Amino acid sequence: MRTIFWEDCIKMIDQTLLPETFKILEIRSVDELIEAIKRLAIRGAPALEAAGGYGVVLATREKKFEDFEEFKDYVKERANQLANARPTAVNLGVGVERVLKKVFEASSIEEARKKALEEAEKIAEEDIIRNKLMGGFGAKLIEDGDSILTICNTGSLATVEWGTALGVIKSAKLEGKNVRVFACETRPLNQGSRLTTWELLRDGIDVILITDSMAGIVMQKEMVDKVIVGADRIVRDGFFNKIGTYTLAVLAKEHGIPFFVAAPLTTFDWEKKMEDVVIEERSADELKYCHVKCRSCIIAPENVKVYNPAFDPTPFKYVTALITEKGVIFPPYEREVPKILKLRK
Ligand code: MRU
């Protein structure tokens, strides 16, 4: 399943409507794309990388220009707005920067438009390839009969086509291993219950939905063999992923369950530490209403104070290994990660 692609405009699955409705959105301006990113119509770090790349292509085409310098100034400003649509996943900015660089290397508006689209397509294609590679490396860590707990959605919908943590699970299944997945619902926006269960059922993978607060009991009852999650940003001392990931990591350590993080090398931001990263805080409405868009089905007093961070940091001491498209990295990460990052283009 292809989540995002280019066909004279950006076409993407509207993830806010799933699992009820499967609809392809057509995005024709940077403003529309920023709005789609903010309301999570497109989400997941690698999918955002592709969206960032295609978004710069839109920026090169949404207005007429005679002067090349004015054109470049405009594209740069739009790219900057796009890169800041969400702060935590490093990949959005990576995709934007890659295509913007091609615009600045060009010597005419026409060439810039052409080069931008070529680079954005390359980002999308590379994502598909590296996810499959990651899946192959990760699948070796999975044994036949394993029960795997995961959070959020890290499958096709979070990437261009295959997936990171769910990609590993799908690859293991392709290798003929029987796997069962516990999918945390992932409050408040339910990427786990709405998207992950939908994807796994389509792929014929055994999935059991639990609330985030049930993770403890399934580990205590020895129903989980491994935890595999994705990442939005991996820094020198830990990684960021969907809120609730840290809780799972601490629980896994307490219960002696291996805890793996699957992410491409573009998710590594090795110059930074956990304290440097901005954690996105989202609207209080996400906790107060079942239907955020229409503010209906109230589930909390309307005047209650709310704290709603979308991601949490997990220190490396909880991580058994990092699964990447260049191989599996085991601790000490301080020594081993730079060796793998050298292989990054
Ligand atoms: O807020 P979201 O839905 O964009 O959060 C996504 C996640 O946290 C994923 O786990 C992460 O991007 C890794 S996905 C391949």
SS3 state at 79: helix
SS3 state at 345: coil
Nearest CA to ligand 1 atom 8: 242
Looking at residue 293, its pLDDT comes to 76
Residues whose CB is less than 8 angstroms from the CB of residue 319 and which lie 6 or more positions away in sequence, other chains included:
238, 239, 249, 259, 260, 261, 331, 333
Ligand 1 atom nearest 45 alpha carbon: 12
Tens of pLDDT along the chain (345 residues) come to: 999 999 999 999 999 999 999 999 999 999 999 999 999 999 999 999 999 999 999 999 999 999 999 999 999 999 999 999 999 999 999 999 999 999 999 999 999 999 999 999 999 999 999 999 999 999 999 999 999 999 999 999 999 999 999 999 999 999 999 999 999 999 999 999 999 999 999 999 999 999 999 999 999 999 999 999 999 999 999 999 999 999 999 999 999 999 999 999 999 999 999 999 999 999 999 999 988 877 789 999 999 999 999 999 999 999 999 999 999 999 999 999 999 999 886
Rounded to an integer, what distance in angstroms lies between the CA atom of residue 41 and that of residue 21? 12
Distance 262 CA to ligand 1 centre (A): 11
Domain ranges of the chain: 4-131, 136-344
Domains 4-131 and 136-344 share a fold: no
What is the value of pTM for the model shown? 0.96
Determine contact, residues 151/229, Cβ cutoff 8 Å. yes
For 171-194, give the DSSP string: HHHHTT---EEEEE--TTTTIIII
Q: What CATH superfamily classification does 136-344 receive?
A: Translation initiation factor eif-2b; domain 2 (3.40.50.10470)
Distance 110 CA to ligand 1 centre (A): 35
> Which among 127, 146, 212, 232 is annotated as catalytic?
232
Q: Which residues form ligand 1's pocket by a CB distance below 6 Å? A: 40, 43-46, 89, 152, 154, 158-159, 164, 191, 230-232, 241-242, 310
Rounded to an integer, what distance in angstroms lies between the CA atom of residue 209 and that of residue 344? 36
Distance 222 CA to ligand 1 centre (A): 27
Known active-site residue 206: no
CATH class for domain 4-131? mainly alpha
Ligand 1 atom nearest 89 alpha carbon: 12
E-strand stretches of 18-156: 24-27, 147-150
Phi then psi for 12, rounded to 5 degrees? -150, 150
